[in-house]
Structure 1
Amino acid sequence: MDSYVCDAIILAIKSGIIEFVFEMLEKNPDLVWTRDQRNRNIFSLAVLHRQAKIFSLLAHHLKNALTCSVDVNSNGMLHMAGMSAESTMLNRIPGAALQMQKELQWFKEVEAIVHPKVREATNEDGLTPRELFTKTHEAMLKSGEQWIKDTARSCTVVGALIVTMMFAASFNIPGGNKQDTGLPIFLPKGSLMVFIISDALSLFSSSTSVLMFLGILTSRYAEDDFLTSLPTKMIIGLSTLFFSIATMMITFSAALLIMLRQQSWIVNPIICLAGVPVTLFVMMQFRLLVEMSISTYGPGIFGRKIKLTFN
């Protein structure tokens, strides 16, 4: 087989040029047996460089023998998933915790594909794939733990402040209470009901948010916690915090309408300004929330399940 052709397809796999790889394999299916100078096949290279689209494309060419093959250091395909990624793909993921989650997802996906005996195979250093993963991801694990703790601490402070304000607001109804019945003076007004409902929603959601972030801070931060447990808590915490900020602004706006209902020239601009904190929070955190949700509950690394039958 022409060495230039082999070098070209290896470089394309490392770079993630899916169209080139597809055309090459269409013209010559035997290229699936291509190996680099360290005896790594193209499937192992796709895993090592975290090229999910390339691996998914190659999946229907995958043979049992290829999942069991090793390189010059006795590293198999699952060992490649256990190595720290030699790829710029991780740099596109915000936050060390999400990067750790993505690495765990890669390892779990490849582990489900390879032959069962490969999962406990050792390389020349005597390390199984899981032991190699733990060793090469120590720094990422610590960075992920620090990142998620810092985020949780900051959000806990914000959530606690909202809880305090909303709890106090529930006992300080705008306009006061009637002396004879103790009921709010503006009870018949629809804006007062908006105030009461939004205050309650903000109080409950911010309390939930604080509890979620406290749950994050008291977690044990084991490797597998970054797969689902910690991201789920962070998703719930950020979602409820966002909702509590939005309902807090509605509570504030409703209070202004009740007290200054005849002064629309000043009420309307202030209500418009009340949307600024919500907008800023969305701009700063919404992208992280969406990416974390997709990464945790999305279709997976390869977008579909890849199954092999082992004889």
Structure 2
Amino acid sequence: MEIREEENPKFDLKMEEPQKYALLGKWNYFKNYFKKDDHQRAADLIEPFNLARKNAIHIAVRSDDPDLIRELLDMLPEDSDRRKALRMGTAHLNTLMHQVVFCENLDMVETLLNYEMEKKLKQPGDENLLELVNDIGETPVYQAAKHGRLRMLKRMSRYVDSMEPHLYRNSDFASNLHIAIIGLHFDVAMWLSKKEVIKKVASAYVEGINEKVEPDEKEGSENEKDGNFRLSCLQLLSRMPSVFRSSNAQAGIAHNLIYDCLPNKGYDDEEDEDNDDVSTRGKEDLESGKNKVKKSFSPSAVSSTIYYVICKHVAKEWDIVKEIWKKKQKNMQANEVADFLVSIDNSWRDTNHGDRPRTEVVLPVIQPTNVARTRKAFQERTSFNLTPVKSKDYTPLLLAASTGIIEIVEKIIDVHPDAVSHVQRNGQNVLHIAVKHRQKKIYKHLKKFKVLNGLGSHIASHDRTLLHQVARMDYYDGGNQPGVVFQLQDELHWFEGVKKIVPSHFQLFCNDDKLTARELFDLEHSEMLEEAQEWIKGTAQSCSAVSVLVATVVFAAAYTVPGGTNEHGVPNLINSPLFLFFTVMDVVGLATSLISVMMFLSILTSPFQMQEFHKSLPRKLTMGFTLLFISLTTTLLAFGSTILLIIRVENKKWSSSLLYSATFLPVTLFGLTQFPIVIAIKYRMKRLRKTLEKIIPNDIISLSKKPTHKRDYSKYL
């Protein structure tokens, strides 16, 4: 087959030699290659060097060596070539200054700017090197913010007259603050938040992007339907629960302990010598700077510095500590950015109170009960249809409530108390959103402000009360309960808990499908009920078989005592403390295993109706699991005591310790494998404690608690 060479190759094959030098970082060889045959090879400096159509000077920026860049520019024969080298772009039109963004040596910026000035290469009408854009309209300053290069961003900002030309890129008018938040570069976002023009950028979907893309904001336009940046910065942050501390709720005790012990100063924070120009500061800033210097020599500052150094040394040795520290740093930066964005956010003012006609009571429809037909009709009417929601319909408060970011909800309500009464276009408020997304942290937070009853009386679109929102499974993600039985119980608890704050006449209120909240709950959870029935039947059968097996073993062990008996049938080792321990463990194991069999059999004979999963069945299952765990544990302990009695190793401590460890190993492994069930048992114990608290008089409970001052937000409803 004939191979034809490309008519216009992207680079000359003779560049392969300097390409090898660049890959290996041998910059002296790289430079010397272009010194040979001065006129010929020097001209090759601005020819395509690789497939990305970068030239040799673009590649040399990797060296982080300003002197090398100056030498290569000086090799070019004409000033026109030098001007071209400074301004020409790659395949994506990234100029030499765009490449400098990724350098660690900040002096590279001054090197290019000073070189252009010294050689007088700038012609009338030429833009500043920092204002040249690539193929998607990004300036080098914008690109520095996009990639989280904070130190380079600060240095470049010194040489621009205004930050406004660098706030947006021309292709889609996405702001650099939006991009920094999406890229999780919160240190960059914090620095940008201090700029005067950034307030307009932060609420871009109101004043920035719509104004540039579609000035008249016609509803239903392409830009309204598409465009990831039709969100404000606070809305973006409200969709990022992982960057806030509240996302660590499921973290272990060790993780939280390390998190709390680490200093607030970030792992990567160092004294930044690249501050803004001192000449731009006011007298007040200079005075505050002097005060900071004085405080830096105080004993508390010295001790905190020592503690920081110790923690940093530990983090270098332990990667897990470093990861937790960086996560804490990210959380703190996100909190600071949220503080700024919340302070300027007014989206909650666009409320929809009174826009929809109110309906107080809708009587339930009386019709013959045909469960199969009703379920089929309901499924046909609620077929899945993905409908995009306009960004203005979900304000940052509602978005944060849907994702469970308690930090943003707290900040918004604290800074703007009246935001708690915000209602979106479909009639839902912050409580509706929190309830249907099962965000219990948000629910508990609103409960502190005494606003649940007021918010719970609102009726959303499709005539959905708050109870209808609980009944829906549209946004249910499975929860954090182990096993479908406990998940269904959690849903039933959630429904009953919300019912307490809803007006009593809403319990018979029908939605536009002519269903009450309870009927909707039963229909939506019918599949979960079937799964729970199958799961609990299989689990009860398996566990009852294990319980019977344990009961058989411990029953037989009671008549085969270790050490045997004498002619009168008295155990030979009856006076040994270990024999008494064996007897007690054997009796406890037999009793608990038999009771657990009774529990599992009672489960198998239950009717398995929906209401049975509220308390009865999960309680029996939890008790059965607990008793089975105790029976297995005591059986293993009885076995260990039997071994110690038979081989008589009381005087050999190392042998005793080894046998004890071997005895407890199966118990430990069983506990680890059943850890979700253990968590479920812990959860049930908490509920039992709350039940017992209801029995104790309120006066006694109030004496045991510290008085707290709660802010009352009910007046804002």
Question: What range describes the TM-score normalised by the shorter chain of this pair?
Answer: 0.7 to 0.9
CA gap of 1:63–1:234, structure 2 versus 1, over 3 A, is closer
Greater relative contact order structure (CA < 8 Å, 6+ sep): 1
Between the aligned partners of 2:622 and 2:672, the Cα distance in structure 1 is: 16
Tell me the equivalent position of 1:250. Answer: 637
Q: 2:540 aligns with which of 152, 177, 180?
A: 152
User: How big is each residue's C-alpha offset from its partner over 1:111-169, in whole Å with a ceiling of 9 and x where there is no partner?
Assistant: 11111100111111111111111000011112222222232222212211110011111
Offset at 1:82? 1.3
Which residue in the other structure is 1:78 paired with? 467
Normalised TM-score (structure 1): 0.87
2:350–2:422: 8 Å Cα contact kept in structure 1?
no
Q: Which residue of 2 aligns with 1:132?
A: 520
> Partner of 2:617 in structure 1?
230
Cα deviations across residues 247-301 of structure 1 (Å, max 9, x unaligned)? 111211222222221696877644432222211111022442233432564378x
* 3-state SS, counterpart of residue 500 of structure 2: helix
253 and 37 in structure 1: CA distance in 2 versus 1, 3 angstrom threshold: same
Cα 1:229–1:64 change in 2 (3 A) is: closer
- Structure (1/2) with the larger helix percentage: 1
Q: Closer, same or farther in 2 for the Cα pair 1:2/1:86, shift >3 Å?
A: same
User: CA shift at 1:65, angstroms?
Assistant: 5.5
What letter is aligned with 1:240?
L
Question: Which of 99, 102, 106 matches 2:494?
Answer: 106
Which residue matches 1:194? 581
Aligned residues: 300
Task: Give the 3 Å change call, closer, same or farther, for CA 216–297 of structure 1 in structure 2.
Answer: farther
Call closer, same or farther: CA 1:42–1:168 in 2, change over 3 Å.
same
- Asked if residue 141 in structure 1 is aligned to residue 520 in structure 2, the reply is no
Counterpart of 1:285 in structure 2 is 674
8 A Cα contact 2:592 2:631, kept in partner: yes
Q: What is the CA-CA distance between 1:85 and the residue it aligns to?
A: 5.6
User: Following TM superposition, by how much is the alpha carbon of 1:27 offset from its aligned partner in structure 2, in angstroms?
Assistant: 2.9
Structure 1 221/293 Cα, relative in aligned 2: closer, same or farther at 3 Å? farther
Query: Superposed, which structure 2 residues align to 1:33-182 within 5 Å?
Result: 33-59=421-447, 60=449, 62=451, 66-84=455-473, 86-88=475-477, 90-179=478-567, 181-182=568-569
Q: Which structure 1 residue ranges, 5 or more long, are not aligned?
A: none
Structure 1 residues 131 and 214, CA gap change in structure 2 (3 angstroms): same
Flag the 1:109–1:253 CA change in 2: closer, same or farther, 3 A.
Answer: same
> What one-letter code is carried by the residue in structure 2 that aligns with 1:190?
P
Tell me the equivalent position of 1:294.
683
- RMSD of equivalent CA atoms: 2.6
Query: How much does 1:194 deviate?
Result: 2.0
Identity %: 33
- The answer to whether residue 664 in structure 2 is matched with residue 275 in structure 1 is yes
Structure with higher Rg: it is 2
Task: Give the Cα–Cα distance (whole angstroms) in 2 for the partners of residues 246 and 188 of structure 1.
Answer: 24
- AA aligned to 1:69 is H
Q: CA deviation at 1:177?
A: 2.0
Aligned partners of 2:538 and 2:592: how far apart in 1?
21
The farther-off stretch of 94-103 and 28-37 is 28-37
Q: Quick check: 2:671–2:678 contact (8 Å CA) kept in 1?
A: no
Contact map agreement 1:253 1:274 (CA 8 A) in 2 = yes
What is the aligned partner in structure 2 of residue 209 from structure 1?
A: 596
C-alpha contact 2:589 2:632 (8 A) present in aligned 1: yes
Measure the CA separation in 2 of the matches of 1:147 and 1:79. 27
Q: Displacement of 1:195 after TM fit?
A: 1.9
Could you tell me how far apart the structure 1 residues matched to 2:522 and 2:399 are? Answer: 28
**Residues 488, 528 of structure 2: 8 Å contact kept:** yes
Cα distance change of structure 1 residues 150 and 63 upon mapping to structure 2, 3 Å threshold? closer
Structure 1 SS opposite 2:463: coil
Amino acid at match of 1:80: Q
The corresponding residue for 2:414 is: 26
| Alignment partners' CA distance in 2, 1:84 and 1:296 | 27
Task: Classify 1:250/1:36 alpha carbon distance in 2 versus 1 (closer, same or farther; 3 Å).
Answer: same
Aligned to 1:73, the other structure's residue is in SS state: helix
Residues 187 and 128 of structure 1, relative CA distance in 2, 3 Å threshold: same
SS in 2 for 1:92: coil
Q: 1:2 to 1:35 in 2, by over 3 A?
A: closer
Question: For the structure 1 residues 297 and 145, does the alpha-carbon distance in structure 2 shift closer, same or farther, using more than 3 Å as the test?
Answer: farther
Change (3 A) 1:138 1:183: same
Q: How far apart, in 2, do the equivalents of 1:226 and 1:296 lie?
A: 17
Residue matched to 2:648 = 261
Q: Give the corresponding residue for 2:628.
A: 241
| Cα distance change on mapping 1:191 and 1:66 into 2, 3 Å | closer
